[in-house]
């Protein structure tokens, strides 16, 4: 999975320090560094077979930061992967 967001998008955020981008080690390091320089937190986590971020490590890391509820927004592929990983309870 390639990080598809433009670095400049985060430079315009009012409060980038509250933004967390989660990606895999395949994301371009240049983009991750630019986002981090703009105050965005970038997490590199394990990927599943299809190259997407694995749900369990992501949810564990969020829980470590006190985040215990997450709204998952995305298309059918994101919804299906969350359901398939059995991380949806509502």
DSSP one-letter string for 1-70: ----S-HHHHHT-S-GGG-EEEE-TTS-HHHHHHHHHTT-EEEE--B-TTSSBPHHHHHHHHHHTT----
The three-point CA angle 82-83-89 to 5° equals 95
Report the C-alpha gap between 30 and 14 in whole angstroms.
Answer: 22
Give pTM, 2 decimals.
Answer: 0.71
Query: What pLDDT score does 1 carry?
Result: 41
Q: What is the pLDDT of residue 9?
A: 56
More confident residue, 48 or 9: 48
Instruction: Please write the tens of the pLDDT for every residue from 38-85.
Output: 888 899 998 888 888 999 999 999 999 899 999 988 899 999 999 999
């Amino acid at each position: 999975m390639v990080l598809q967001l433009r670095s400049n998008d985060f430079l315009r955020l009012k409060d980038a320090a509250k933004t967390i981008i989660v990606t895999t080690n395949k994301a371009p390091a240049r983009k991750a560094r630019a986002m981090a320089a703009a105050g965005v937190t970038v997490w590199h986590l394990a990927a599943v077979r299809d190259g997407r971020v694995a749900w369990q490590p992501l949810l564990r890391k969020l829980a470590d930061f006190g985040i215990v509820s997450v709204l998952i927004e995305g298309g059918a592929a994101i919804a299906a992967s969350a359901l398939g990983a059995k991380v949806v309870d509502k």
